[in-house]
Amino acid sequence: MAFLKKSMGAAKKSKMTDTNLLLTITIVVFVAMYLAAVLFLGEGFLKPQAFFNMLNQNAALIIVSCGMTLVMITGGIDISVGGVVALVSMSCAVHLDHNGGSILEAVLLALGIGLAFGLIQGFLVAYLEIQPFIVTLAGMFFARGMTTIVNATQFNVAHEGFVKLKDTRIIMPEIFGTLNKHGKFIPAYIEIGVVVAILVVVILFCVLRWSKTGRKFYAVGDNNQSALMLGINVKRTKFTAHVICGLLAGIGGFVYFLHVGSGSPSHASGMEMNAIAASIIGGTMLSGGVGNIVGALFGVLSLSTIKDIVSSMGFDEAWWTGITVAAMLCIFLIIQSIVTARKSSSVAKSDG
Amino acid sequence: MTTADTKKKNKPNVSELFGKIFKRQIFIPIAAVLVLLLFNLIVDPGFFSIELTRNSAGNPVLSGNLITILNNGSELAILVLGMTLVTAASGGQDISVGATIAIAGSIILRIVCGTDAKADSASFGIVLVAFLVACVASMAFGAFNGALVSIFKIQPMVATLILFTAGRSIAAWINNNQLPTVSDPSFGYIGGFIPGIPIPTPFIITVICIVLMALLLKFTNLGLYSQAVGINESSSKLNGINPIFIKFLTFVILGLCTAVCGLIKVSRVSGITYSVIAQDIEMDAILAVALGGNALGGGKFNMAASIIGAYIIQILTTTLYAYKIESTALSAYKAIVVIVLVIVSAPAVRNKTKAFFAKLKAKAAAERKEVA
């Protein structure tokens, strides 16, 4: 809430940056949407567990979206993340189940795969100056192809330690719990993945907001040339962004794996587009220089809320979800475009 | 003695010629095609055999890997025509083409089949009407994308993300999530063979589309204008070009291309599967444009290079299939080839290699001097 207040305060001084304005819009829309859902659809949304389930289901997407946001702030894009998540979960599943490996090895494997993708793609994008879209497109193809080469069919992991870890629930304080029909107390819980996701969000948020390295990402994304003139190593900054994004895709892959507990070539299909959509809804601009990690978190939550609303309103058919998500994306894009137009017109005014 | 003399004489000319060819944008795509074909020639000359056989209906058809490439590459080749223009004018790509193809296909089947989701006969007239309606709808969707990009100034990839997410859902919605099928064999002619003509129909349609596009570029200023808008929007505006209209127009043209692709796609299988039809074709189309050496950031383009780029992807696919690689694993190999091609054609790498060769030349010249 602190940053919300901060951005509100900034609004009063009418010196609000694009980042904060877009973030405020996102948070307001999310809160309004959730309140509306509670008011009109009632019951289901009122339970704290409904909210925690949203986090449980989307922990991996939150982590991946953070990486995507970071790359988008530097003006790039990474569409390989969905493929990397699928590859990581398949590799970990095979390692645990067929090779009888340990969980620690699986975690290292996940990090290694993510890091490898990040390093190679980052090098190609930053130092060989190839368009990020093409590089990460090839990365996506490669990851998806490799997933089926590793194992072509879906299977559940029966590794003992892993199943235990997968079923670990972190019980929330008593006030969030509810009584079921028989008057029995059911505590609210979150999964381990959510803790990881929140850690990632907090760390990245602090780095981007207060550290020198973090500010470099914004500078590079906003204007390559002036960042260069300020003495920022543009190439290395872009490289770092891609490496972090790859690493987060690896972490996200493991969290995803922890949530679903199986390996499948069709896992995480379309995740890259969901991550991009979440980042955009969270106020990140694809042109670079504008964006916020907390926005990515709220972007994911907004996406998930609208999906829940649509399905609980009785529009069960799958196509309604697609259409509403798209409509929401459309509205946010138009808001962004208006913000940009407002900014350029105010610049023109101050120039005149 | 004589051969050495001629060699010496020809040497500067040859290197000059090579330098000129190397600089041409179309060099890398053509070289890639030749390398791929050469690879096939060395490993299995049978790859190039073309036979005249009879299909199940008893009509003469050409078959062979080369024909498969020309046949299956049709949709991609048609799509790149529009995608190249969009890339040049707006400096971004349309990632909703696959979804729009699904919509176009769904509309065609809806009109041909009606509400029963089944049609035993499909007359030429009704298919034509269906196709025209699909064209209008696809152009409308193209106009939607175009309006977002040109008027609201949203980056093309993001703007088309909307239809990318919604497109297949809309396609399913049009047919009420049924899977219509057409059992009339004449409906399959468009995606197969017309009786009596051994050339695959999609290839004929592709040639027609390419010729139409060539005429459009030859007799209108569209090509020049879209390049101008892509290179510098504000200066093209100062020169009297309306950048908004040009961008809008390129998206509408791309919409038309997707309608043609949709017709071919549904005709191939005489039906539709919403989640599978034209899957990942947007990625292939963007790759084709990039492989053609066109800048994905907009500006100059070379249509022929793009079309060759599309066929590179198809040759690669067919080659890999010929070596019994599973379709699901295909993308990994595709990615490796793409990365190699992109690295070779990257400006940074090209400049470094050029500098390296220049250094080598200078060294050789210095050594020669020393010897002399």
> What domains, with CATH codes, occur in chain A?
2-345 (1.10.3470)
Would the CB atoms of A128 and B343 count as touching at under 8 Å?
A: yes
What residues are paired with A186 via a beta bridge? Answer: A178
Residue contact B283–A141, C-beta within 8 A:
yes
- Among the listed residues B286, B309, B295, B235, the one whose alpha carbon sits nearest the alpha carbon of residue B26: B309
pLDDT at A14 over 60: no
- Among A191-205, A206-220, A245-259, A282-296, whose mean pLDDT is lowest? A282-296
A193 vs A191: CA distance, rounded Å: 5
Q: Is A318's CB within 8 Å of B172's CB?
A: yes
What's residue A352's pLDDT?
43
How many other β-carbons are positioned within 10 Å of the β-carbon of residue B64? 16
Q: Which of B339, B343, B352 to mutate to test the interface with A (most CBs of A within 10 A)?
A: B339
pLDDT at A291: 85
Instruction: List, for residues A214-269, the tens digit of each pLDDT value.
Output: 889 999 988 888 888 888 899 999 999 999 999 999 999 999 999 988 888 888 87
Q: Which of A127, A133, A330 sits opposite B296 (nearest CB)?
A: A133
Suggest the residue from A22, A84, A137 to mutate for an interface test with chain B (most B CBs closer than 10 A).
Answer: A137
Q: What is the pLDDT at residue A6?
A: 46
Spatial CA neighbour of A64 closest among A143, A146, A165: A143
Which of A134, A280, A322 is nearest residue B166 as measured by Cβ atoms?
Answer: A322
**Does residue B346 sit in helix, strand or coil?**
coil
Write out B176-203 in H/E/C secondary structure.
Answer: CCCCCEECCHHHHHCCCCCCCCCCCHHH
Q: Which residues contact A164 (CB under 8 A, 6 or more apart)?
A: none
Of A2 and A278, which is predicted with more confidence?
A278
Q: Using CA atoms of A135, A139, A140, A143 in order, give the dihedral in degrees to the nearest 10.
A: 180
> Residues in chain B whose beta carbon is closer than 8 A to a beta carbon of chain A?
93, 148, 152-155, 157-159, 161-166, 168-170, 172-173, 177, 283, 286-287, 290, 296-297, 326, 328-336, 338-339, 342-343, 346-349
With an 8 Å Cβ cutoff, is A326 touching chain B? yes
Pick from A155-164, A249-258, B130-139: least confident: A155-164
Minimum distance, in Å, between the CA of residue B158 and any CA atom of chain A: 8
Residues 6+ apart with CB under 8 A from B183: B118, B119, B120, B270
> Hunting for tokens 């084709």 — which residue is that?
B288
Are B165 and A277 inside 8 Å of each other by CB?
Answer: yes
Residue A3 has pLDDT above 50, yes or no: no
Tell me whether A337 touches chain B (CB under 8 Å). yes
Residues of A with Cβ-Cβ distance to B172 under 8 angstroms: 317-319
Neighbouring C-alpha atoms within 13 Å toward the C-beta of B257: 32
Query: Does position A188 have pLDDT exceeding 70, yes or no?
Result: yes
- Looking at the predicted structure, is the pLDDT value of residue B131 above 50? yes
Is any Cβ of chain B less than 8 angstroms from the Cβ of A153?
no
Exposed / middle / buried, residue B217 (Cβ in 10 Å: 0-12, 13-18, 19+): middle
Sequence-separated (6 or more) residues with CB below 8 Å from residue A295: A22, A23, A26, A69, A279, A281, A282, A283, A284
d(CA A221, CA A236): 13
Q: Is the pLDDT of residue A89 over 60?
A: yes
pLDDT digits (tens, 9 = 90+) for B178-207: 888 888 888 888 888 888 788 889 999 999
| Domain residue ranges in chain B | 60-324, 335-372
Task: Inspect the interface and report whether the beta carbons of A318 and B163 lie closer than 8 Å.
Answer: no
Q: How far apart are CA B190 and CA A219, in angstroms?
A: 53
Residue A295 above 60 pLDDT?
Answer: yes
pLDDT digits (tens, 9 = 90+) for A340-351: 777 777 666 655
Is residue A120 within 8 Å of A267, Cβ to Cβ?
no
Are the C-beta atoms of residues A198 and A59 closer than 8 Å to each other? no
Mean pLDDT of chain B: 85
pLDDT band for position B329 (50/70/90)?
confident
Q: Which among A130, A137, A149 has CB closest to B346? A: A130
SS3 A159: coil
> Per-residue pLDDT for A117 more than 90?
yes
Cβ within 8 Å, pair A152-B339: no
Across the interface, whether the CB atoms of B328 and A145 are under 8 A apart is answered yes
CB contact under 8 A, B169 and A318: yes
Cβ of B346 within 8 Å of Cβ of A286? The answer is no
Q: Cβ of A273 and B165 within 8 Å?
A: yes
Per residue in B20-41, pLDDT (tens digit) is 666 677 787 888 889 888 888 8
Task: Say whether residue A133 is in contact with chain B using an 8 A CB cutoff.
Answer: yes
The pLDDT of residue B137 is above 90: yes
3 state DSSP class of B52: strand
- CATH, range B60-324: 1.10.3470
Q: Which of B93, B141, B158 to mutate to test the interface with A (most CBs of A within 10 A)?
A: B158
CB within 8 Å of B355: residues ≥ 6 apart: none
Verify whether the Cβ–Cβ distance A133 to B93 is below 8 Å. yes
CB of A318 less than 8 A from some CB of B: yes
Q: Helix, strand, coil proportions of chain A in percent (round to 5)?
A: 75, 5, 20
Q: Closest chain B residue to A127 measured between Cα atoms?
A: B348
| pLDDT at A204 exceeding the cut of 90 | yes
